[in-house]
Structure 1
Amino acid sequence: MLKGVSLFANIGVGELSLPSNFRVIAANDIDPKRCNLYKKLHPHTNVIVGDISKKTILNKLREFDCDFVISTPPCQGMSNLGRMEKMDPRNHLVKYSIDFIKTKKPKFIFHENVPNQNKTLINYRGKEVTISEFICKQLSKDYFIVNKNIKMDDYGIPQMRKRSIFLLTRKDISQAWDFPNPKNKILTLKDVINDLPTLDPIVSDANVQTEKVFPRFHKKLERALKVSEFHAPVTHPIRQIICMQQTPSGKSAFENINKFKPRRIDGKIISAFNTTYARMSWDKPCPTVTTHNRTISSHINVHPGRKVQTKDGIIYSDARVLSMYELMLVMTIKPSWKLSSAENTPFLRSVIGEGVPPEFVKLCFKAIPI
């Protein structure tokens, strides 16, 4: 049994499917809410709540001997979808992962972040270096380093998630850890969610009844909940629902005629990118799941939908973001996980968007040369 420590652990999504001969014995995150969910998902792991930049927290983590480390520092300071600021303090948190690694010298290290870590600058001994250069400068003496920009869909994950992954092997081990072979088949949304029952959204407007807009709402919901308690709809404003009902699979509502373009509360047409108010495509993997996955106005978040003939013409079903259950499937989270739909769903959706698909982590760990 190889024992590990997870740094910047979030709720422990990446660790959900580790091979049986690997066990995370300690995990750390700064956020108590995340740590609380981590404990529910991983009840046998010692969870250290607190800021890893504080010596007291780092020293608590150092009490645990480990064979491997999973390091997934925050990406918001360097993400394409966030506001990139030079020398964002969050980008320097990787230094504390390195401090821990240099002290404990684990056999194997899995480090994950967005591809921009290869060009994001941090301060190192008075000079600006990229995060990737910093990792190599700090650890190349003691570790074999394999670094690769990968696309998750190449590895059987039904999501177009691009990541920069470091796999490090301590040099006293004869064979270096390397990436598993890519899969031959790309999994699409049609492969993963096509058979699920259709769902209507809940209308958020106080003066509009959901049942008036969607007379079959409860019947559809009843069918969906038989599949999973997590296959339930999200709430959206009626103005967003109407424009998405006119939007085909793979298209943005900004391509609609003016009458059905996205509008503000005051009725004016919104000015935004075509990747917002956009439906996914059935014949492609899911776009990257982000922390804003419950918002129609964010990056390609809307269900692909199906063409429906009505007395007034053609519309498109499922004018909503993915249900929690659909998110779990494209993130390769097993439906049998130990959380219930009673959890704070907006928070849960957000932290899932920060996670690493557990089936990808499993593939990598199965490739460890032991």
Structure 2
Amino acid sequence: MIDLFAGCGGMTSGFMAAKGFKPVMSVEFDLRAAATYAANFGESHTRYADIATIPDEEIPEVDLIIGGPPCQGFSNLGSRNVLDPRNKLWKEYIRFVRHAKPKVFVIENVDRFFSSSEFALLQAEATPGGLLESYELSSGFLLAADFGVPQRRKRTIVIASRIGKIPLPVPTHARTGTLDDLPEWHTTRDVLSGLPETPVTTELPASLEEFFGVDVPGIFKSSDLHIGRNPTAMSLERYRHIPPGGGRFNLPDHLLSRCWREKKTGTTDVMGRMRWDMPSLTVRTEFFKPEKGQYLHPQWERDDNGHSVDRPITHWEAARLQSFPDDFQWCGTKLQIAKQIGNAVPPMLAEAIARHLKPYLRGTARHTTPKAVPCRLCRPAG
């Protein structure tokens, strides 16, 4: 397989966990993300480069292409400017498809991609006379929590196949009380409980490793990412007022910023606290800033003798909420690693897609919806 816009390798991590998939090329423009990918999956097939600079003749033929062109242009957090050059990078993806001739390719993107003009153009290319006329497309939304990820992260998934139409995978998990035959969603408790509540440092270890001829910070273990911050007294006072599932609307007037005081609606997850009994909301790139979303640690008890953890989640906790395994290795500064975590495809979601695709790629599927496969957190040890 080829992984395009590979980032730190969340999608490759999931496909490798599903067994039977071999990456022969990955392409990533960001040096530190490419270094993280190389640290986990090898530097020899990792291309740290602008995808547009890779010649056609260097693109190998493969069975599968995976990847997600940068999503910021489509995100409802951005301007959705159709002229944003990042919105055009999907055309490079199509160039790779044309030369690699995969049986299947998979695109992952933010949920708003589904209603974008770029998605409409992609669909048009899969009609007679288009660049992708030999492919049949299946597309829709997948919720990461439905596939074992302890996070309510909704994404657009496109599966394109020239070996017969392949449907999207069916959920392997369900919200409590909705489907009795499926395991329940994983919660923040499943992945955050047991980690040290008080990080002992605010900094990564001093370490450098060479990748692509350049020294980058790393290689760091997941436990090295359990780093705290130094919040102000005002911030700590705000944290103490926020109950699980709550947010800025739980703050008394004297703790409200001017913009919060004047904005009576919207941004409900700002300064929010997670809940132990639910998956987190979407982990974005600035999860270490509670003013950006629901990123406060879920432990909270209101009374004076209660036990509360009044801090945002750490990088390690964010990586666990994204379903990265603890043996995953990281390169970059604190900000760069946070960006890698927030931008990644959750490995468990990728693994579910990989397991779903495997029988089609092997020619053993009847192109009907297969039975759900439990995730690795639900399967018995060994």
Shorter-chain TM-score above 0.5: yes
Distance in 2 between residues matched to 1:286 and 1:328, nearest whole Å? 12
Distance in 2 between residues matched to 1:83 and 1:237, nearest whole Å? 32
Distance in 2 between residues matched to 1:303 and 1:132, nearest whole Å? 40
Aligned twin of 2:117: 121
Aligned twin of 2:85: 89
Aligned twin of 2:271: 277
Structure 1 residue 59: Cα displacement: 2.8
Equivalent of 1:14 in 7, 11, 15: 11
Aligned twin of 2:137: 145
Q: 1:331 is aligned with what amino acid? A: Q
Equivalent of 2:166 in 152, 173, 176: 176
Task: Flag the 1:359–1:273 CA change in 2: closer, same or farther, 3 A.
Answer: closer
Distance in 1 between residues matched to 2:55 and 2:113, nearest whole Å? 23
| 3-state SS, counterpart of residue 14 of structure 1 | helix
Structure 1 residue 308: Cα displacement: 5.7
User: What pairs up with 1:1-370 in 2 under 5 angstroms?
Assistant: 4-17=1-14, 18=16, 19-43=18-42, 45-54=44-53, 57-59=54-56, 61-62=58-59, 64-122=60-118, 130-134=120-124, 136-137=126-127, 138=130, 141-170=133-162, 173=163, 176=166, 178-183=168-173, 184=182, 185-199=184-198, 228-262=223-257, 271=263, 273-307=267-301, 309-310=303-304, 317-339=308-330, 343-368=332-357, 369=360, 370=362
**Larger CA deviation: 25-34 vs 299-308:** 299-308
Task: Flag the 1:249–1:351 CA change in 2: closer, same or farther, 3 A.
Answer: same
For each residue in 1:223-255, what CA deviation from the matched residue of structure 2 results, as whole angstroms up to 9, or x when unmatched? xxxx93333323433322221112111111332
Unaligned runs of 5+ in 2: 174-181, 204-221, 363-382
Distance in 2 between residues matched to 1:235 and 1:131, nearest whole Å? 47
Aligned twin of 2:213: none
Q: 1:102 is aligned with what amino acid? A: R
| 3-state SS, counterpart of residue 343 of structure 2 | coil
For the 8 Å contact 1:193–1:326, the answer to whether it is kept is: yes
Task: Flag the 1:191–1:38 CA change in 2: closer, same or farther, 3 A.
Answer: closer
In the superposition, the TM-score normalised over structure 1's length comes to 0.79
Distance in 2 between residues matched to 1:28 and 1:112, nearest whole Å? 15
Distance in 1 between residues matched to 2:271 and 2:328, nearest whole Å? 31
**Larger CA deviation: 296-305 vs 179-188:** 179-188
**Larger CA deviation: 134-143 vs 31-40:** 134-143
Query: Which has the larger strand fraction?
Result: 1
Relative contact order higher in (CA < 8 Å, ≥ 6 apart): 2
Distance in 2 between residues matched to 1:251 and 1:61, nearest whole Å? 52
Task: Flag the 1:175–1:117 CA change in 2: closer, same or farther, 3 A.
Answer: closer
**Larger CA deviation: 71-80 vs 141-150:** 141-150
For the 8 Å contact 1:58–1:100, the answer to whether it is kept is: no
For each residue in 1:111-159, what CA deviation from the matched residue of structure 2 results, as whole angstroms up to 9, or x when unmatched? 100121122224xxxxxx7355345344652123211211111111111
Q: 1:321 is aligned with what amino acid? A: P
| 3-state SS, counterpart of residue 224 of structure 2 | coil
Q: 2:346 is aligned with what amino acid? A: P
> How much is the aligned-residue C-alpha RMSD, in angstroms?
2.8
For the 8 Å contact 1:112–1:163, the answer to whether it is kept is: yes
In the superposition, the TM-score normalised over structure 2's length comes to 0.77
For the 8 Å contact 2:199–2:227, the answer to whether it is kept is: no
Identical residues among aligned pairs (%): 23
Distance in 2 between residues matched to 1:89 and 1:244, nearest whole Å? 39
Structure 1 residue 58: Cα displacement: 4.0
| 3-state SS, counterpart of residue 16 of structure 1 | helix
Structure 1 residue 331: Cα displacement: 0.8
Q: 2:309 is aligned with what amino acid? A: D
Task: Flag the 1:23–1:203 CA change in 2: closer, same or farther, 3 A.
Answer: closer
| 3-state SS, counterpart of residue 147 of structure 1 | strand
Task: Flag the 1:304–1:324 CA change in 2: closer, same or farther, 3 A.
Answer: same
Aligned residues: 326
Task: Flag the 1:338–1:195 CA change in 2: closer, same or farther, 3 A.
Answer: closer
Distance in 2 between residues matched to 1:168 and 1:43, nearest whole Å? 27
For each residue in 1:72-129, what CA deviation from the matched residue of structure 2 results, as whole angstroms up to 9, or x when unmatched? 100001111223223322111101101110122111211100121122224xxxxxx7
Q: 1:35 is aligned with what amino acid? A: A
